[in-house]
Amino acid sequence: MPPTAVLLSQAFSGFAFGTLLALMSSGLTIIFGTLGFVNFAHGAMFMLGAYAAFVVLTYTHSYIAALAAGALVLLVVAVVLERGLLRFFYTRPPEDQLLVTFGLSVMLIEGMRFFFGSDSQRVSPPPWGDGIVDFWGVFYYPLYRVEAIGIAAAFLLALYLLLYHTSVGLMVRAGIEDRLMVGLLGIDVRRMFLLVFAVGAMAAGVAGVIFAPLSAVIPDMGTPFLIQAFVVVVIGGLGSFGGAIVGGILVGELLSLTTAFNPDYSQASIYLAMTLVLVLRPRGLFGAVGRI
């Protein structure tokens, strides 16, 4: 049994990673819930956010500007992709939607590799993120990581308010329940799809910005994150906002706590958890019956 301090530190670390994963997964899940397709390019969008942070922080040192840039870049990318290509895929089989977003993901990753190379870029945390937090002398933690939790949580809260406390959100949630009916009620489903895709993509982009100072920024950085987000939504229930948050934190904690015991099994543990959920509760913890 590892010392309590290590466990506490790892638990905290898992929570930090989990909130970011939750932000990423919530984007994936609302896109799926509304548009009915899994965005395979979500990991590449996360990576775009991280590169936006890299460029903006390198030149301006303004974290707020980096967040804005990350969101803006993804807004533009999402609008171009949705209007230019993806909307033609709404009536095609799910496999085609998967394939086309997979292809787009490769293009985004390789495009970034062309401009920035394969070398990893370092992004330093903002000045107000420099420092160490002393948790009652039990463990110490880099300040930015603590702040990252707050920032990610703030965006999750904003997403929650948008979805659950605005009339647009009501339409989106109604669309998740019954797309056809929402259309029949005279709501412009096309605009709603665009909006949801953009919001979902921006969630991935913002997660990328927040994550950039915590890791090496490379073109492939989104892929493992995407697959972990898949695990999150399978565990939480595809299409469920609450499931994405609970699943995200659960997966973050699993990754982190198993590392304290035996890092060899850390990555494998989340896939085992997913297997258990599939066997015991195939629709996920919060998934609705009958939706896929």
Partner 1 sequence: MSASVGARRGSRWLPEIIVALLLLGLPFGFEAAFDTVDLLSRILVWGLFGIGFDLLFGYSGLLSFGQAAFFGTGGFVTAYLLTSHALTNVWLGMLAGVVAAMLFSLLVGYLALRRVGLYFAMITLAFAQLSYFVEDSPLAHWTGGENGLPGVPPPAIDIGPLTVSFSSGWGIYALIATLFFLGYVLARFIVRSPVGAVLTGIRQNADRTAALGHSVAGYKLSVFVLAAAYAGLAGVLLGIFQSYMPPDAFSVDTSGQLVFQTVIGGVGTLLGPAIGAAVWLFLRDELQQIPGVGSLWMFILGAVFVLLVTLLRKGLYGTLAALWESRIAAPVPQPEPRARAAVRLHPTTAQPTPPSAAGAAATPALEALMVSKHFGGVRAVSDVALTVPTGEIYAVIGPNGAGKTTFLRLLSGEMTPTSGHILLRGHDITGHSVTAINRAGIAKSYQINQLFNDLTCRQNLRIAALGRHRGTLRFDVFRAADSIPAVEQSIAGVIDELGLNATADLPVATLPYGEKRRIELGLALATLPSVLLLDEPLAGLSPGERQDVIRLIRRLAEGRTIVLVEHDMDAVFALAARIMVMHQGRPLAEGAPAEIRRHPEVRRAYLGGLKAHAHA
Task: State the residues that interact with partner 1 by CB under 8 A.
Answer: 32, 37-38, 85, 88, 94-96, 98-100, 102-104, 106-107, 109-111, 113-114, 223, 227, 230-231, 233-234, 238, 263-265, 267-268, 271-272, 274-275, 278-279, 282, 292
Q: Which is nearer to partner 1, 46 or 144 (CB)?
A: 46
Nearer to partner 1, 55 or 104 (CB): 104
Q: Following CA atoms 270, 274, 280, 281 in sequence, which dihedral angle do they give, to the nearest 10 degrees?
A: 130
User: Between residues 5 and 278, which has the closer beta carbon with respect to partner 1?
Assistant: 278
Look at residues 164, 173, 152 and name the one whose alpha carbon lies nearest to residue 249: 152
In whole angstroms, what is the distance from residue 79 CA to residue 195 CA? 9
Min CB(64)–partner 1 separation in Å: 32
Of residues 73 and 235, the one with the C-beta less far from partner 1: 235
Report, in Å, the least distance between residue 231 CB and partner 1.
Answer: 6
Q: How far is the CB of 155 from partner 1 (least distance, A)?
A: 24
Name which of 18 and 237 has its Cβ closer to partner 1: 237
What is the closest distance, in whole angstroms, from the C-beta atom of residue 89 to partner 1 in the complex? 8
Q: What backbone torsions phi and psi does residue 214 show, to the nearest 5 degrees?
A: -95, -10
The two structure tokens encoding residue 142: 């880099």
The Cα 200–Cα 65 span in angstroms is 20
Minimum CB separation of residue 124 from partner 1 in Å reads 27
Q: Using the structure block, give the residue that is written with the tokens 């890791």.
A: 215
In whole angstroms, give the CA distance from residue 14 to residue 252: 4
Question: Which residue has 């292809």 as its token pair?
Answer: 103
Q: Which is nearer to partner 1, 14 or 222 (CB)?
A: 222
Q: Measured from the CB of residue 79, what is the shortest distance to partner 1 in angstroms?
A: 17
Least gap, CB of 25 to partner 1 (angstroms): 12
Nearest residue (CB) to partner 1, 146 versus 292: 292
Is 226 within 8 Å of 98 (Cβ atoms)? Answer: no
Q: How far apart are CA 102 and CA 26, in angstroms?
A: 19
- Cα dihedral 171, 176, 178, 183 sign: positive
Half-sphere exposure of 33 (CA within 13 A, CB side): 32
Rounded to whole angstroms, how far apart are CA atoms 171 and 187? 8
Q: Which of 75, 85, 23, 22 is nearest to 195 (CA)?
A: 75
